[in-house]
Amino acid sequence: MGNKILLEVRGLTKIFGSRTVVDRLDLRMEEGDIYGFLGTNGSGKTTTIRMITGLVHPDAGEVRIGGFDLKSQFKAAISLVGAIVENPAFYPYLSAYDNLKLTANLLPGVTRKRIDEVLDIAGLADRAKDKVGTFSLGMKQRLGIAGALLNRPKLIILDEPTNGLDPQGMRGIKELIAQLAAEQGISFLISSHLLHEVEQICTKAGVIRKGKLIAEGEIRQLLATGVETVEIVTSEPDKAEQLLRTATEVISISRSQDQLTVQTYGDCSFKLNQLLVTSGVQIRTISRRPQTLEQFFLGITEGDGGP
């Protein structure tokens, strides 16, 4: 994958009435990125996605897709995108194939063969002639992704793609995203409530809080910062706890028999180990439990409610 910038959002702002829903938001995606866009309910995720896809007009800022300005070069910019915003919407009285045919009509160069191809990729080839009204939510999501693939986009934007799906449906969508990214080199911008899923699929993440992007970067870098958990098993838990409480990096300590679970700021398991060893505390095991995306997210959005 190259480092070409695929999506660039600068100073994006949206005000509804007196409320600033998105506040000077900057966001950047490179080709090949799978970007998890995280935020609590009402944080401005969907409004941002609506602005990136042209459904909502920003009050300030700009969106460039593949170098094209969304406002002045709308057709060129949106031609690079496939998107499902909020829920996938289809005409329930038409078949899956007919719905895709209507979409394909609006895209130059999309053939009937391509419609069959995307139905096949989405695993819906055998339901192509069935009316969409009979589809489950998971099948509609798959059909939405099929529709988004029609024009061979460089970027697919998915707003809550696993919302309302059962575990099987979630796994199906997750696998489909991973497959498309790996086999076709498509970049994804995914807003999701499911932090575990994002952690598994995405290479980058951004966290939006009250309309502002408060953290952005590669997931492994984000997880290397912030709070870390260190588990220590020792034959002298009282002494160890006493010593650890003096360390400035330690946030909290919980104890279960001879095991101490220590929350710390940043990567400092080595320091804690050194402190205990030099003080003569016998350590049986010391292990670093990597921070999950959920812990990271909750750490920086504390008090905002669920994702």
Partner 1 sequence: MIRLIQNELYKTFRLKKLYIFMAVLAVHAWLTVHFYNEGGEWKSVILMPNGQSLPLTLLNSMAQFMTVFIPVYVADLITDEVKTGTLKMSLLRPVRRIEWLNAKIVSLFVFITFLLVFSIAAEYAIGTLAFGWGGQTLYAGSLYTPTEGVWLTLRLTFSMLLPYMACGMIVILIAVLAANISTTIGLSIGMLTAAQYLKAFEHLEPYSIVHQMYFFHEYVHPISGEAASQIIAVIAGYIVVFYLVTAIIVKRKDFIL
* Beta carbon nearer to partner 1, 157 or 275: 157
| Shortest separation between residue 158's beta carbon and partner 1, angstroms | 12
Contact letters (x/-) for partner 1, 34-63, by CB under 8 A? ----------------x--xxxxx------
Query: Which of the ranges 28-36, 82-90, 160-168, 202-210 carries the binding residues for partner 1, by CB under 8 A?
Result: 82-90
* Beta carbon nearer to partner 1, 56 or 181: 56
140 neighbors 132 (Cβ within 8 angstroms): yes
9 neighbors 27 (Cβ within 8 angstroms): yes
Residue that the structure tokens 């497959």 belong to: 179
| Shortest separation between residue 131's beta carbon and partner 1, angstroms | 11
Strand ranges (DSSP E) for the chain?
5-16, 19-30, 34-39, 60-65, 68-69, 81-84, 155-159, 187-191, 204-209, 212-218, 227-234, 250-256, 259-265, 283-289
* Beta carbon nearer to partner 1, 162 or 264: 162
CA distance 267 to 227: 8
102 near partner 1, judged by CB under 8 A: yes
Query: Which of the ranges 99-107, 133-141, 206-214, 226-234 carries the binding residues for partner 1, by CB under 8 A?
Result: 99-107
Strand 68-69, strand 60-65: pairing: antiparallel
Contact letters (x/-) for partner 1, 142-161, by CB under 8 A? -----x--------------
Chain Cα centroid distance, residue 28: 14
3-class DSSP state of 1: coil
Query: Which of the ranges 31-39, 77-85, 188-196, 236-244 carries the binding residues for partner 1, by CB under 8 A?
Result: 77-85
Name the strands in the sheet holding 187-191, side by side, starting at the edge strand that comes first in the sequence: 81-84, 155-159, 187-191, 34-39, 204-209, 212-218
| Shortest separation between residue 197's beta carbon and partner 1, angstroms | 23
Bridge-partner residues for 218, per DSSP?
Answer: 204
2, 3, 106, 302: which one binds partner 1 (CB under 8 A): 106
286 neighbors 172 (Cβ within 8 angstroms): no
40, 48, 103, 234: which one binds partner 1 (CB under 8 A): 103
141 near partner 1, judged by CB under 8 A: no
| Shortest separation between residue 146's beta carbon and partner 1, angstroms | 13
**Contact residues for partner 1, defined by CB under 8 A:** 50, 53-57, 74-76, 78-79, 81, 83, 85-87, 89-91, 93-94, 99, 102-103, 105-108, 147
